[in-house]
Structure 1
Amino acid sequence: MENNKQDLSNTDEASQLADCDEILLNHLMRKYATKLKRIAYLYTNDHSESEDIIQEVYISCYWNLSKFRNESNYETWLTRITINKCKDHQRLWSIRNLIYTPLKHLVKTEGSAEDQYIHSENSKELLKQISLLSHKFKEVLILYYFNEMTMQEISETLGINHNTVKSRLLRGKNALLKNLEGGNYNGSF
């Protein structure tokens, strides 16, 4: 009889822990989904692929919530998972060879048709050139310019030294500008 009580107690405890994990996961999804999806989209430049990656991120998060060590905050942890999932995604041969499509939110919706076209073409070229950069430059540029993270936040997220972030940001920007000067880009960065 005593063992049955203990088994019942363990079952109730496990159920309560699972409920807590689900509540926390729902909170994390509501709070960080937009930022994480932006990161995934900037890596993949595809809405459906970025949604798939974010689903993988939250599945991984759910299964590893008990392993979270509170060495960083949840946003940093989820951003790191997202970047790793994006890198895994880009390692696939078929995905690496896809041509990137333009970011819709970078295309102006005001001005003349000619201005909109020029801005659209510049956005396409910018994304193409970002996609060609090495991962170490691409991830820092995406986090800094598109996700609007500080260098300190990027340092914590990527687990690299602050000066390394500064160096990669500068070198990545210079590489991007050099590549853009040889292309059809007529905008500013």
Structure 2
Amino acid sequence: MKNYGTELSILAYSYVKDVEVSKDIIQNVFIKCYIHYHTFEKRSSIKTWLYRITINQCKDYLKSQYIRRMFLQNSSIKQTSYHTPETITIDKLDDEQVVAEIMSLSKKYREVLILRYIHELEAREIAEVLSVSVETVKTRIRRGKNKLLPKLREEFLYD
């Protein structure tokens, strides 16, 4: 499990965009894995299983935040910027502008592009992690790249 900590932190951060929250989520992921390891069916790799749990934890967190905001009309959550190993790693993945453009995509495109090109998962593994078909993954990757390329061309041609 120790081998995947940084990767999972980056994945969680890509969803919640808050370093401290992503750390909490990863702690919860490892606790869940420890408690429920006996239920791991080994039909997929441990990495895929960990990614799936991490994504589910992130989605649960985001849902709970959405519900809180619905009830607390005037609340605004400030996101602070910390220079931690996770954020430095994200910044080093490629140029900051490229990462920013990826993060600006809708979730369904952002998550497949991050899993494919940053975490280097195969389409089959991404399909398992996201519980969608391989064809859906391939379509989202293609469409995500098609949405990303014009933004990158514009960014790099006019800066």
Provide Cα deviations, 1:113-170, integer angstroms capped at 9, x if missing partner.
Answer: xxxxxx55x25xx42x433433221210110121121222212322322221111001
Give the TM-score normalised by the residue count of structure 1.
0.61
Task: State percent identity of aligned pairs.
Answer: 39
* Structure 1 Cα separation of the partners of residues 113 and 80 of structure 2: 17
1:186 aligns with 2:156: yes
The answer (yes or no) to whether the contact 2:18–2:79 under 8 Å persists in 1 is no
| Structure 1 residue identity aligned to 2:25 | I
1:104 to 60, 76, 88: 88
Partner of 1:163: 135
| Structure 1 residue identity aligned to 2:116 | Y
* Structure 2 Cα separation of the partners of residues 97 and 144 of structure 1: 30
RMSD: 2.9
Partner of 1:79: 51
Gap change, CA 1:132 and 1:97, over 3 Å in 2 = farther
* Structure 1 Cα separation of the partners of residues 148 and 5 of structure 2: 28
* Structure 1 Cα separation of the partners of residues 13 and 124 of structure 2: 23
The answer (yes or no) to whether the contact 2:103–2:110 under 8 Å persists in 1 is yes
Alignment of 1:6-155 (within 5 A): 28=1, 30-91=2-63, 92-93=65-66, 103-105=87-89, 107=91, 120=96, 122-123=97-98, 126-127=99-100, 129-155=101-127
* Structure 2 Cα separation of the partners of residues 54 and 163 of structure 1: 29
Give the drift of 1:78. Answer: 0.7
| Structure 1 residue identity aligned to 2:10 | R
Give the TM-score normalised by the residue count of structure 2.
0.71
Larger Rg: 1
Provide Cα deviations, 1:53-82, integer angstroms capped at 9, x if missing partner.
Answer: 101111221222222222222111111011
The answer (yes or no) to whether the contact 2:10–2:90 under 8 Å persists in 1 is no
Q: Secondary structure at the match of 1:149?
A: coil
| Structure 2 residue identity aligned to 1:168 | R
Q: Which runs of 5+ in 1 are unaligned?
A: 1-27, 109-118
Give the drift of 1:42. Answer: 2.3
**Number of residue-to-residue matches in the alignment:** 142
Gap change, CA 1:100 and 1:43, over 3 Å in 2 = farther
Gap change, CA 1:64 and 1:158, over 3 Å in 2 = same
Q: Which runs of 5+ in 2 are unaligned?
A: 70-75
Provide Cα deviations, 1:36-55, integer angstroms capped at 9, x if missing partner.
Answer: 11211222333222111101
